[in-house]
């Protein structure tokens, strides 16, 4: 559909329902204003940036967004996806775009990870993630693509947020004799203002590589918070551990970033090729940003600039350039954890077997819920919205009686006891 279609009430309603159902919705020949209208229409919190240049309006061939959810439970991880298709300038690029569109409109495949014998404490297995993807081409049939996938966690002990980015840089060249083939990706923090540091990155500088590993291995000590489904939750320590082994044509890899200032940059240089070839490289890094730089709960933003270059026998071809802005939600809605507070119950009386909703705050790491001093089985309740709502089924064995206190017990303490409910026959 086009941006004009969004003004049609019937189409707008269809788009809202499709996005809510986990389907991809897309605009063709879209500009920044139309992308923003699409975002508002579907109720998406994350902004949509068509490039990292916010001073000039840009029109792209297509922008597509989607939210993948594993199952229907609010506690399942979510993947927020943004895909941007640049101008198509050749038949080869159109074939590549057709492959890209197939991936965009199908469920995005998750990397296969080993099944753990015990519950995982790895952020990649626990938390929501965001994916931003852009593909551009030129008249020579060269195609350049960047895919950024980001996870985030908050350390209450260190008062620091960590953003883990796994990036894929793909450059496809047509059948031609190239003496040299080069790629470069530069990644910089944009907002909020403040300078993060890079605490882990990979790969490092490597010469004449045909297989290389890129990954990170980092531990967030103490209690860490992150988003999972619709809920902000915490865990007693989180690791970020991920490694990918990649086979490439003989390549010189050079890390030219500055970890102290949070700039992450890689250069890749490969030898000649006479056939149509796809070069795919992966980079990983972790940013650390102190909580005191935030002035609001707005998502954070970082920019990526990727360049693909080829040198033939007679000349150096013009570079193909891609710019992408990625937006990521902050990993938690509080900077401190505190004892729970029960503010109310959605009804004044209920029967055993009935469902009630408890509202309040700081419903993290729950040790138990008590009705009238009687512990409720953990299978009878769950947090259903951030840290503020608990859905509870009153046990069939709950004693009948008036003014039974509703109390939540967490690792941070025990809530107030002045909110009550009558249990009736």
365-390 mean pLDDT: 90
Q: How far apart, in whole angstroms, are the C-alpha atoms of residue 77 and residue 126?
A: 7
State which of 238-242, 268-272, 293-297, 405-409 shows the largest mean pLDDT.
405-409
Where residue 71 falls (left for φ over 0; alpha for ψ -120 to 50; beta otherwise) is left
Mean pLDDT (whole number) for 167-185: 78
Res 12 pLDDT > 80? yes
For the residues 306-311, what does the mean pLDDT come to?
A: 85
The answer to which of 5-9, 172-176, 317-321 has the lowest mean pLDDT is 172-176
The 3-state DSSP class for residue 40 equals: helix
Q: Any residues with CB less than 8 A from the CB of 32 and at least 6 apart, and which?
A: 49, 50, 57, 58
Encode burial over 204-231: b for 16+ CB neighbours within 10 A, e otherwise.
eeeeebeebebbbebebeebbbbbbbbb
- Residue 79 is predicted with a pLDDT of 87
Q: What is the pLDDT of residues 231-259, one digit of tens each?
A: 778 887 899 998 888 888 888 999 999 99
pLDDT at 89: 63
pLDDT per residue as tens digits for the range 279-301: 889 999 999 999 999 998 899 99
pLDDT digits (tens, 9 = 90+) for 71-123: 444 456 788 899 998 866 656 556 666 777 777 777 655 544 454 455 578 99
Distances (CA, A) of 59 to 4, 55, 75, 141, 399: 14, 13, 37, 21, 64
The arrangement of strands across the sheet holding 389-393 comes to 341-345, 355-361, 389-393, 381-385
Instruction: Tell me the C-alpha distance between 139 and 196, whole Å.
Output: 38
> Tell me, what's the pLDDT at 97?
67
Sorted by sequence, the CB contacts under 8 Å of residue 183 that are 6+ apart come out as 169, 171, 267, 268, 279, 281, 306, 307, 308, 309
pLDDT value at residue 285: 97
**What's the rounded Cα separation, in Å, for the pair 58 and 152?**
29
- Give the whole-angstrom CA distance, residue 78 versus residue 70: 7
| Angstrom distance (rounded) from CA 329 to CA 386 | 14
Mean pLDDT lowest for which of 29-33, 116-120, 199-203, 264-268? 116-120
Residue-level pLDDT at 419: 96
**DSSP conformation class of 291:** G
| pLDDT (tens digit per residue) in 344-377 | 999 999 999 999 999 998 888 888 999 999 999 9
As beta bridge partners, residue 382 has 391
The three-state secondary structure class of 261 is: helix
Calculate the average pLDDT of the chain.
Answer: 86
3-state secondary structure of 367: strand
pLDDT in tens, 121-171: 899 888 899 999 999 888 877 889 999 999 999 998 899 999 999 999 998
């Amino acid at each position: 559909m086009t941006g004009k279609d969004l003004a049609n009430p019937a189409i707008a309603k269809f788009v809202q329902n499709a996005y809510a159902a986990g389907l991809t919705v897309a605009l063709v020949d879209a500009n920044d204003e139309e992308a923003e209208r699409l975002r508002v229409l579907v109720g998406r919190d994350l902004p949509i940036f068509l490039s990292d240049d916010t001073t000039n309006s840009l029109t792209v061939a297509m922008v597509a967004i989607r939210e993948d959810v594993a199952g229907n439970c609010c506690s399942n991880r979510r993947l927020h996806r943004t895909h941007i298709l640049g101008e198509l300038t050749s038949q080869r690029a159109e074939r590549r775009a057709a492959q890209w569109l197939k991936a965009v409109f199908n469920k995005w495949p998750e990397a296969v990870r080993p099944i753990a014998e015990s519950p995982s404490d790895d952020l990649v297995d626990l938390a929501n993630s965001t994916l931003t993807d852009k593909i551009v081409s030129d008249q020579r049939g060269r195609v350049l693509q960047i895919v950024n996938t980001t996870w985030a966690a908050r350390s209450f002990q260190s008062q620091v947020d960590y953003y883990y980015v796994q990036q894929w840089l793909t450059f496809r060249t047509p059948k031609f004799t190239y003496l040299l083939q080069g790629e470069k990706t530069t990644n910089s923090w944009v907002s909020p203002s403040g300078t993060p540091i890079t605490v882990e990155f990979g790969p490092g500088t490597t010469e004449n590589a045909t297989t290389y590993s890129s990954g990170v291995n980092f531990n967030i000590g103490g209690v860490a918070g992150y988003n999972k489904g619709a809920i902000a939750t915490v865990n007693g320590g989180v690791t970020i551990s991920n490694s990918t082994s990649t086979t490439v044509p003989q390549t010189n890899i050079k890390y030219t970033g500055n970890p102290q200032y949070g700039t992450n940059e890689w250069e890749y240089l490969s030898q000649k090729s006479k056939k149509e070839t796809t070069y795919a490289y992966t980079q990983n890094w972790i940013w650390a940003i102190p909580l005191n730089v935030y002035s609001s709960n707005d998502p954070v933003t970082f920019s990526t600039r990727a360049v693909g270059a080829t040198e033939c026998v007679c000349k150096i071809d013009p570079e193909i350039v891609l710019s992408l802005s990625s937006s990521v939600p902050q990993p938690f809605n509080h900077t401190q954890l505190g004892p729970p507070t029960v503010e109310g119950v959605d009804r004044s009386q209920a029967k055993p077997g009935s469902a009630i909703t408890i509202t309040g705050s700081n419903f993290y790491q729950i040790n138990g819920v008590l009705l009238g001093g009687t512990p409720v089985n953990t299978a009878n309740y769950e947090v259903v919205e951030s840290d503020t709502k608990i859905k509870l089924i009153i046990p069939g064995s709950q004693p009948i009686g008036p003014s039974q206190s509703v109390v939540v017990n967490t690792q941070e303490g025990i809530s107030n006891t002045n909110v009550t409910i009558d249990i009736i026959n």
